[in-house]
Amino acid sequence: MSPPGSAAIITRMPYKTDASKRLFDRSLGSLIEGGSSASRGPANFGDYPIFMVKGEGSRLFDADGNSYVDWMMSYGAVPLGHANPAVVAAAVQGASTGMHFATATEIELELAELIQEVIPSAEMVRFANTGTEAVMAAIRLARGFTGRPKILKFEGHYHGWYDDVLVSSNPQLRPSLGHRNSPVKIADSSGLNRRSQQDTIVVPWNDLPALERALNNNPGRIAAVITEGIMANMGVIPPQPGYLEGLRELTEAHDTLLLLDETVTGFRIAAGGCQAHYGITPDLSTFGKALGSGLPVAALVGRADIMDALSWGGVLHYGTQNASRIGLHVALASLKELVRDDAAAFKHTWEIGDSLCQGLRSVFTELNVNAIVQRVGPMFQILFTEKTEINDYRDFCTYVDRGKYQRFALALLPHGIYMSPAATLHSVATLAHSMEDVSFTLEAVRKACKDANLSE
């Protein structure tokens, strides 16, 4: 397994990225690694990232004039694709009538009511800006409401960069993980408040006995179990049949709140998110990414009696930028597009996801490439592995060749495909993708596998 960051950009004429290189060199005087997140820099893109200048529908255009079919789609934050006309019009409307008042606004009410309509567990709604912020508020609320100190999270789940949950969410070497009955908690960053992690219990996912053991070992101490409904930050790992239902039953039996983190799955898998798709009712859920259609809009929603603890700042959640009008205009327009015509948008993204993933599997078989494709609806990830299935974080850490994936993703760039640059980050189909994009991508994948020598 080669380490991340080891692959270099494969350059093929007439593919040139000189302008990106120049911008990157210039950026080193003002930006760390050329951008505002480590995942956009050399750790994922080799020598330097590609600087994008424009997005339109399913396409991105870079500073050198190259165009790409974009399957990363802003980490899934633009479910309608780039520069969707309804979204652009809403942004203009929001901007031209005052971007942000930080007062009560009718648009906030309208968006909250639409969210309540599509997500039945959203008895009440509170807006924030990012998934991280919504999760922070949800955890504080769970602790404040229950009076319990601990939270339980799962290995390999990412819930944002908040100290309490920034643990065991990066891939590690297998021996570091400890035994699955008592996982070693591995902090994902320097500088964390280590005491906050003393109250975080970490358990393997897709394993009900492990969850039950942890709940039994901490009677009356766990405020909430926080989970992604589909693991989306270790490739794509779906829940085993019955797993989420079992998780719901166990949390109920222990009077522990179920906090479903739908930052990725919300407004992506179905109009009603992962909870509608799998038929579970969480106590609290968090949304972000696709909700804002490219602007920072997130939401914490849930049971009215729990959410009521936010009243008068009893459980405090503030934020100058919460519910900016421009973001809410965009979110409302985007959500209306997603749910109209009986949520036809989701039918489209599932079909695109299905065709693409079937095609990818055929190409890998044809070229004798050891890779599998894991998918739920529009979310997918290619995993270079000899296994037929990756079921949890431990499988991912042990059997997935991340270096190979990175070589593959970088080899796709000269062929006009911008896929997730890291094996951990999934890719996603949006309303803007077409069957032509699928065919174009499959042809590019064929070439990239050859360029990067991925056949066995």
Ligand X SMILES: Cc1ncc(COP(=O)(O)O)c(C=O)c1O
Q: Mind telling me the catalytic residues?
A: 158, 261, 289
> Does 285 participate in binding ligand X (rule CB under 6 A)?
no
> Does 20 participate in binding ligand X (rule CB under 6 A)?
no
> Does 135 participate in binding ligand X (rule CB under 6 A)?
yes
Shortest distance in whole angstroms from residue 289 CB to ligand X: 6
Shortest distance in whole angstroms from residue 165 CB to ligand X: 8
Identify the CA nearest to 119 among candidates 232, 226, 229, 240: 229
> Does 381 participate in binding ligand X (rule CB under 6 A)?
no
Task: Output the CA–CA distances (angstroms, integers) from residue 418 to 70, 183, 414, 441, 442, in the order listed.
Answer: 5, 35, 9, 10, 13
Shortest distance in whole angstroms from residue 288 CB to ligand X: 4
Q: In the complex with ligand X, which residue's Cβ is closer, 276 or 454?
A: 276
Pairwise CA distance, residues 383 & 238, whole Å: 14
User: Who contacts 222 (Cβ-Cβ below 8 Å, separation ≥6)?
Assistant: 148, 150, 151, 152, 201, 214, 215, 254, 256
Identify the CA nearest to 378 among candidates 268, 281, 272: 268
> Does 207 participate in binding ligand X (rule CB under 6 A)?
no
Q: In the complex with ligand X, which residue's Cβ is closer, 277 or 404?
A: 277
**Residues written for the chain:** 456
User: Who contacts 52 (Cβ-Cβ below 8 Å, separation ≥6)?
Assistant: 60, 61, 62, 63
Binding-site member from 33, 70, 108, 228 for ligand X (CB under 6 A): 228
Shortest distance in whole angstroms from residue 75 CB to ligand X: 6
Q: In the complex with ligand X, which residue's Cβ is closer, 292 or 359?
A: 292
Binding-site member from 172, 233, 275, 385 for ligand X (CB under 6 A): 233
- Binding-site size for ligand X (CB under 6 A) equals 15
Shortest distance in whole angstroms from residue 132 CB to ligand X: 3
Shortest distance in whole angstroms from residue 269 CB to ligand X: 13
Pairwise CA distance, residues 320 & 300, whole Å: 16
> Does 263 participate in binding ligand X (rule CB under 6 A)?
yes
Applying the rule CB under 6 A, the residues between 26 and 55 that interact with ligand X are none
Cβ proximity of 284 and 300 under 8 Å: yes
Pairwise CA distance, residues 214 & 278, whole Å: 24
Q: In the complex with ligand X, which residue's Cβ is closer, 263 or 385?
A: 263
Pairwise CA distance, residues 261 & 360, whole Å: 29
Binding-site member from 4, 49, 57, 131 for ligand X (CB under 6 A): 131
Applying the rule CB under 6 A, the residues between 66 and 85 that interact with ligand X are 75
Q: In the complex with ligand X, which residue's Cβ is closer, 74 or 251?
A: 74
Q: In the complex with ligand X, which residue's Cβ is closer, 158 or 364?
A: 158
Both tokens of 272, joined, read 């009603």
Binding-site member from 155, 163, 261, 283 for ligand X (CB under 6 A): 261
> Does 132 participate in binding ligand X (rule CB under 6 A)?
yes
> Does 130 participate in binding ligand X (rule CB under 6 A)?
yes
38: which DSSP letter? Answer: G
Q: In the complex with ligand X, which residue's Cβ is closer, 90 or 425?
A: 425
Residue 173: which H helix or E strand, with range?
none
218, with CB counted inside 10 A (0-12, 13-18, 19+), is: middle
Cβ proximity of 128 and 319 under 8 Å: yes
155-184 footprint of ligand X as x/- string (CB under 6 A): ---xxx------------------------
Residue 396: which H helix or E strand, with range?
helix 393-399
For the chain, the distance separating the N- and C-terminal CA atoms, rounded to the nearest angstrom, is 15
Binding site for ligand X (CB under 6 A): 75, 130-132, 135, 158-160, 228, 232-233, 261, 263-264, 288
